[in-house]
Structure 1
Amino acid sequence: MGWRLTMRCPDAPGLSVGTCLVTAVLSVTACGTATDDVAVPVAARDPSTDTRPAPAPDVSASAPGSDVSAPSEEPSSRRPGDTAAEPDPDATSVTTTVAASTAPSTTGRPTASTTTSTTITSTTTVPPVASTTTIAATVTTVPTTTVAATITLPLPPPPDRVLSDPFLHASNAAFDRLARAPGASMTITRGGQIVFSRASGQTIDGQPATGDSPMVVASVSKLVVALAVARLHEQGRIDAYGPVPWGDIGLSPNPAWNDVTVRELLDHTSGLPTARSSWFTGEGGCRDHVPSLLTPPPQGHRGTWVYSNGNYCLLGLLVEQRTGLPLDQALQQLVFDPVGAGGVHLTSGGLQLGDVPHSEGVERLSRLGGAGTVVVSTDDTALAFGRLTPTDLWVLQPPGVFTDQYGWGHTGTVDGAKSCIWVLDGGDTVVSATIAGNTVSTGGDVCDIIVPAIATDLGIGSARPGRTP
């Protein structure tokens, strides 16, 4: 449990933070357009010969201190994950990791800005009680069922690294750049707890936006769905390295798809076409659109990274089938309940009064399903990715996630929304930011603003990220 201080400051020149109204409440903190396909060769995985063991079921290791190998670098300007539909033509490949160093966490002190909410969470927190879980590396037949009782993930150990700048000046400056948009939100967690949360703009019902106000996050939806797949793999209800259970999800593709694996969907190596604009035109949802992509056999680029919304549309259908729940409810139980976060929903149900408005309208996103319809706050995503289990990290691998020299994560871009979530410093630090608007071109641009900023405050670098694939 932590005390959340919410500061609201009017737009008055020279007004000090000390004259702002401060209220204290007790709170529990527990895809754009590109022009060319990009093919990045990756080593194809054969699940029958994959000898890597599943990690031990140690929930207490939810945020390991060692770095996780995920995609290393995305490019400059337009990038693969920057859109809900297409990859970036400039991608290069550089794999780098950053080791952790020593010392405890310190909270940041944000500066005042117009119509801005700020959250500072104290370090006095009682960790939830850990529940035991089991991990199954191989599953062949899994019946439709209701999602298992929610576990509560414990807080990880305090971060080893001491902040170079405990006041997070660079991160505050980064948010000020994002706040040029009609709506913006940015959250940082360290050791699984919120240490920085700022937002600007208003919600649909006219209230000041906060870090807990849900926003359209475009292709960051994919990372949330991938985490749900990891949790179902851990429960033994999905084999992340086994064939896609086409019949179970009610699809009858060309027989050439029969040996395509869940891992290939996660990695964008399944051979699905990009099918750019078709994801934003026409009626119906993901289930209505994806069968047309499965009538021909996998394309010749199978085994090579080619970004396609179809992969995560299918993964969303699989999550629904395995849990017996609508996708938003399944994501809530699998991803957000374990960290005490709530409020996730989908654009297919329309926006809610407490959401930050999306000026372009959400109807055109309905076909994306698990590829881009999630509406969620930066507080909630930062919390969820601040407490990852060993199995989560085993499933969240490149090229399904992107990496740079600081860590790994995902971006999202559609007209009217740009988003980035990034895990740094061996998992000890997570930064999540979303804007409602088009003041930057892509979610990769959001990453280029926030990732070097928190890296500066951590003292691990300040260079522009180089992301891949």
Structure 2
Amino acid sequence: MFGRPSRVLPLAVAVGALLASCSAPTAESGGLATSQQVATTLPELFVDIELEEFPDPDVDRVTIAPLPPSLRPDATEVIPTLTGWDAFDDHLQRTVIGGGSNALSVAVSVDGEIVHRAAMGLRSSASFEGAETQDRFRIASISKTITAIVALQLVEDGVVGLNEPVGATIAEGLDVANPRPGTTDVTVRQLLTHTSGFSKYENLFFGGQVGSCREAAAVGFSSSLRGTPGGSFQYSNMNYCVLGLLIEQLTEMPYEEAVYEHLLTPLGISGMRLAATVDPGPDEIEHVTTPGRNYMEALGAAGGWIATPADIVTIVDSLDPETSGWKPLSQETVGLMKTSANTPQTPDRGYGMGLILYGNGNSGHTGTIESTHAMVLDRADNVTWAVTVSGGYPSDTPRLAGIIDKALIAGGFLSG
């Protein structure tokens, strides 16, 4: 529900119609009751989740040119006092776009109803076309939440057991004649919780060594495990790449098609897709792409989706029993998603099944690929937000979470 139609909000700089049409935030808004601030600092445990997607910091990257100074908000300019969503959007415009990123999109819901959507910056550095709320961004590892939901649906339907060893079946489907010891013993639970023992394989996914998730998984089953299946937590894209292949085997349809049938179509979502590393579609925001890499194809079910923040919020809100609409999973299964699998176990904090647990009833996921950052947070106070950024600022998702909190404070929705 939106209280107002799409409109151009006040900006921190006055550069005429060019800026108004190219880099101004566009937004649709409703109401949000004031609530108490919930800390969104990522636990130290998950620093490696962010760094995991930057395997080689010394590699030169092709960067999207930042907005020229004439199009960038002036942080020193005095503007009239803003309130509500105007203040929220202005803070994001000044901080993220003003910090040098090219585009940002955000969606906020309350009790399962989206009350605000906004987009700002440019869709492409080659044009002055402004970003819009329907534009799609890479969501990177938030893709794991999607894959986890569909895999757990198959568990609920009795198609596969949560503790059932599935490695042998997958290895056979990959034509791996001699899978390494332990790989055939991995279970659905272990894949979901990153306790399978698979190594991280950063260079495999991000160094252009394989062209698909299937090829990556074949390497995984042909290589020694780093740990014992069912042992310690080790975040790895391999786990969710393998889950995507399992979904294909069990549903007898391509992974993307299975996700639509089991999750997206019932939620009324269209337009999401597994995207290519290069040659973005007309509805896709331009992203940094290092020549010679094909990580989007290699990641697949582990990180290859593009979506709008509203899509992400809709998916995450469907797990909440207090929201209306179709539910993909029982609350018992959602409870498993929100139970930490880390050892030693810390209640309400850690990694569950496709969800990061931030403590105090807050959960979500992050995603980072090159200079693209995404995050979704389902707060304990029934507020859910998702944000996607293309560009170099902020440098990581913990800082991005802090910026969203400050924007909510600026709008008067959180206490400072």
Aligned positions, number: 336
Q: Which residue of 1 aligns with 2:280?
A: 351
Structure 1: how far apart are the matches of 2:54 and 2:161? 27
Match runs of 1:227-376 below 5 Å: 227-244=149-166, 246-247=168-169, 250-251=173-174, 252=176, 253-281=179-207, 282-300=209-227, 302=229, 303-348=231-276, 351-360=280-289, 363-376=294-307
Q: What is the one-letter code of the residue matched to 2:50?
A: D
Do residues 396 (structure 1) and 324 (structure 2) align? Answer: no
TM-score, scaled to structure 2: 0.69
- 1:240–1:395 Cα contact (<8 Å) kept: no
Q: What is the one-letter code of the residue matched to 1:194?
A: I
Note closer, same or farther for the CA distance 1:194–1:319 as it changes in structure 2 (3 Å cut).
same
Do residues 179 (structure 1) and 97 (structure 2) align? Answer: yes
Taking only the aligned residue pairs, the percentage that are identical comes to: 25
Partner SS for 1:422: strand
Q: Which residue of 1 aligns with 2:308?
A: 377
- 2:168–2:185 Cα contact (<8 Å) kept: no
Q: Which has the higher helix share?
A: 2
Q: CA deviation at 1:344?
A: 0.8
Structure 1: how far apart are the matches of 2:398 and 2:309? 16
Match runs of 1:62-211 below 5 Å: 74-75=43-44, 79-83=47-51, 85=53, 167=84, 171-172=88-89, 175-176=92-93, 177-180=95-98, 181-203=101-123, 207-211=129-133
Note closer, same or farther for the CA distance 1:237–1:167 as it changes in structure 2 (3 Å cut).
farther
Structure 2: how far apart are the matches of 1:285 and 1:330? 18
> Mind listing any 5+ residue stretches in structure 2 that lack a counterpart?
22-27, 29-39, 56-70, 74-82, 320-326, 341-350
TM-score, scaled to structure 1: 0.62
Note closer, same or farther for the CA distance 1:419–1:72 as it changes in structure 2 (3 Å cut).
closer
Q: 2:371 aligns with which of 392, 397, 416?
A: 416
Q: What is the one-letter code of the residue matched to 2:234?
A: V
| Cα RMSD after superposing both structures | 3.7
Q: CA deviation at 1:325?
A: 3.0
- 1:175–1:198 Cα contact (<8 Å) kept: no
RCO higher in structure (CA 8 A, sep ≥6): 1
Q: CA deviation at 1:373?
A: 0.9
- 1:186–1:199 Cα contact (<8 Å) kept: yes
Q: CA deviation at 1:215?
A: 0.5
Structure 2: how far apart are the matches of 1:317 and 1:446? 32
Note closer, same or farther for the CA distance 1:81–1:272 as it changes in structure 2 (3 Å cut).
same
- 2:41–2:398 Cα contact (<8 Å) kept: no
Partner SS for 2:117: strand
CA displacement, residues 67-106 of structure 1 (integer Å, 9 cap, x when unaligned): xxxx995229x8233245479xxxxxxxxxxxxxxxxxxx
Q: Which residue of 2 aligns with 1:450?
A: 404
- 1:347–1:363 Cα contact (<8 Å) kept: no
Q: What is the one-letter code of the residue matched to 2:92?
A: F
> Mind listing any 5+ residue stretches in structure 1 that lack a counterpart?
22-26, 28-70, 88-113, 117-165, 463-469
Structure 2: how far apart are the matches of 1:167 and 1:459? 7
CA displacement, residues 6-28 of structure 1 (integer Å, 9 cap, x when unaligned): 1135868579xxxx99xxxxx9x
Q: CA deviation at 1:213?
A: 1.4
Partner SS for 2:5: strand
Structure 2: how far apart are the matches of 1:190 and 1:380? 15
- 2:309–2:387 Cα contact (<8 Å) kept: yes
Partner SS for 2:298: helix
Note closer, same or farther for the CA distance 1:320–1:178 as it changes in structure 2 (3 Å cut).
farther
Q: Which residue of 1 aligns with 2:78?
A: none
- 1:218–1:372 Cα contact (<8 Å) kept: yes
Q: CA deviation at 1:326?
A: 2.6
Structure 1: how far apart are the matches of 2:410 and 2:379? 12
Structure 2: how far apart are the matches of 1:12 and 1:457? 16
Note closer, same or farther for the CA distance 1:115–1:85 as it changes in structure 2 (3 Å cut).
closer
Partner SS for 1:385: helix
